[in-house]
Chain A
Amino acid sequence: MKVTIEVNGGPVSAEVEDRTLLVHYIRETAGLTATNVGCDTTSCGACTVLLDGESVKSCTVLAAQADGHAVTTVEGLTGQDGELHPVQRAFREQHGLQCGFCTPGMIMATVSLLEHNPKPTRAEVREGLEGNLCRCTGYHNIVSAVVDASGQEVAR
């Protein structure tokens, strides 16, 4: 079927198989490869993107379900001039990544979390990101990055 998705502000149209997963549409059709496939079973959150501004696991959404909707990937957060989004800046600042595999998903889940809860406590961050796994287990600094991105003081 013909699918048209607004990806990071611009339309991407393609004729794809009905069974195409959104994550494959993003990586292969739109050519944006920051979004990773980790578990492929809706568990790890590495494939998290925003669908109409809300975090979803794109390995468990059909491209067809996103037809006519807007998707934002981590590539879409960066400003025109290469300026980092506050959440990206905070992950860098707080060393919120080690190998970086989980990071695009962590960042997108964080953007959605802060949208609903702009000043989360550390405990709320851990709960809010429960759908994202970091195999490097760098959770402490990830939580610090989210707290930093929310404009709160990071407890040392």
Chain B
Amino acid sequence: MIPVQFGYRRASSVDEALALLAEHGDDAKLLAGGHSLLPLMKLRLAAPEVLVDIAPVEELHHVRIDGEDVVIGALARYHDLQGDEVLREHAPLLAHVAGVVGDQQVRHRGTIGGSIAHADPAADLPAAILASDAVLVARGQEGERRIPAADFFLGPFTTSLTPEELLTEIRVPRQTGLGWGFEKFTRRAIDWAIVGVAVSGKRVGLINMGGTPVRASAAEEALARGASVAEAAELAAEGTSPPDEPHATTEYRRHLARVLTARALETSAGSR
């Protein structure tokens, strides 16, 4: 399968990428690792006229500490993140999740920024950054703005980024020493999660329990009141609206959310 014809442009800096986006407007799409976009283009579900390849933008591959935050460049690949010492110490949930996305080959290409900007409700990292209280940094022609993860995801494959903006960084308050846990329920090895749960400290992020990643607020509130793991996990699906599909009904997903939340909270309690 071959994508529809398009023009390939390469950006080597954020400014260059923004200029190319401004020049081509709605016809252009950013290309990072290409592991969401290219499959869609091959199936002809997407047909941008111009691809702006941002993978060569050196300034966005970093992981570093900045004050109380760990700052991750949008173009850091899963493979880089899973072994990164700074991330493993200060945001261990994210390092772990980066290591379970797809397979080895996918992790050599896919980027954290691509995953977040793509906003697939079944994706792993968006829920993990939500559970980490991350702030997303976007740059456009007018400058930079910071968007809390909780305000970033608007719906399936829809975010608050404008078409002229680039996601540049993910800022994660250091989670050093906090307990964490991650559970992902799949049918086959490299599948996306039917439901997944990401826990960092007392925050719980849910994968595929709605059109966007969501926090299990009722469970979090119960934990804050001093409820047991079992009591809190019982509330994990409260207020969610998971999709109803032939292979996984809404009720089944609610059940999975409760079971997986209990497991992730237990792992978290044991990992401190």
Contacts and interface: CB of A to CB of B under 8 A. Distances in A.
Interface of A: 1, 17-19, 21, 24, 40-43, 45, 48, 51, 54-57, 59-62, 64-65, 109, 112-113, 128-132
B79 to A, nearest CB: 7
B190 interface: yes
A60 B40 CA distance: 10
B34 A60 contact: yes
A112 B104 contact: yes
B79 A130 contact: no
Contacts, number: 78
Nearest to A128: B104
9 contacts: A45-B105, A57-B109, A61-B38, A62-B34, A64-B53, A130-B189, A131-B102, A131-B105, A131-B106
A112 B105 CA distance: 9
B2 A65 contact: no
Nearest to A59: B42
B103 A131 contact: yes
A83 B116 CA distance: 45
A51 B7 contact: no
Contacts of B10: 64
Interface string B36-56: 001100110000000101010
Contact of A55 (B3, B53, B55, B108): B108
A85 to B, nearest CB: 19
Contacts of A130: 103-104, 189-190
Contacts of A43: 190
Contacts of A131: 102-106, 190
B22 to A, nearest CB: 20
B39 A60 contact: yes
B109 A56 contact: yes
B42 A18 contact: no
Contact of B42 (A40, A129, A132): A40
Interface in B98-122: 102-106, 108-109
B105 A56 contact: yes
Of residues B38, B104, B105, which shows the largest number of chain A Cβ atoms within 10 Å of its Cβ?
B105
B4 A19 contact: yes
Interface string B52-74: 01010000000000000000000
Nearest to A130: B189
A116 to B, nearest CB: 8
Contact of A60 (B38, B53, B55, B190): B38
Interface residues of B, number: 29
B190 A54 contact: no
A42 B79 contact: no
A18 B39 contact: no
The 6 closest A-B CB pairs, nearest first, are A131-B103, A18-B8, A130-B189, A54-B108, A64-B8, A57-B105
Given A18-B5, A56-B109, A128-B104, A62 B42 contact: no
A84 B132 CA distance: 48
B6 interface: yes
Given A54-B108, A55-B105, A19 B39 contact: no
A24 B2 CA distance: 10
Contact of A56 (B51, B53, B108): B108
A27 to B, nearest CB: 13
B52 to A, nearest CB: 12
Contacts of A18: 5-8, 51
Interface string B198-220: 00000000000000000000000
A64 B50 CA distance: 13
A21 B2 contact: yes
Contact of B2 (A19, A56, A60, A61): A19
Contacts of B55: 65
